[in-house]
Amino acid sequence: MPRPATLSAQDYTDIQDLYAYYALCSDAGDADGFVSCFSTDGELCIPSLSMSILGRANLHHFKREDKKRRKGRVRRHWNSGLHLEKINSTTVSGRCYLHAYEAPPGKALELVDMGVYEDTLVREEDEWRFRRREIQMDHSQFTVPQSKKLS
């Protein structure tokens, strides 16, 4: 298999930072920070939950509701195996593994989600952002009531 076109060291570092910032904001329930990781037309898809959240307003609502759903539980993401492939000067394809843990404050974290992020990243306003983030879940305890699904 041929190696993909390489990114500049700065682009690679900036994208790694985006992945880390996304996880930190998601875990903290920081809806504003979470939304800033997406392009203006950004989308988060979780096919196993029949979920597609399109646009910053819907992403903001999703993250606020996600924080409420946790009821104070601590959440931590671990991403690994980041692979980036340059498509052109403003588009990158990304992929990494996801492990997510949750627990009430002061308790040992328990594995609740495992999967793979498949991402399309774009350079927008001189920053890398997710245009499309699809989570292929291997295992998840997270469910969305039918009336709460966003599209």
* Per-residue model confidence as pLDDT tens for the chain (151 residues): 666 678 999 999 999 999 999 999 999 999 999 999 999 999 999 998 889 999 999 999 999 999 998 899 999 999 999 999 999 999 999 999 999 999 999 999 999 989 999 999 999 999 999 999 999 998 766 555 444 444 4
116, 93 Cβ separation under 8 angstroms: no
Using CB atoms within 10 A of its CB, is residue 45 exposed (0-12), middle (13-18) or buried (19+)? Answer: middle
- Closest by CA to 97, choosing from 128, 138, 132, is 138
* pTM assigned to the model: 0.87
How far apart are alpha carbons 80 and 77 in whole angstroms?
Answer: 10
Residue 3 in tokens: 């190696």
Which CATH number, 3.40.50.800, 3.90.230.10, 3.30.70.20, 3.10.450.50, labels domain 9-141? 3.10.450.50
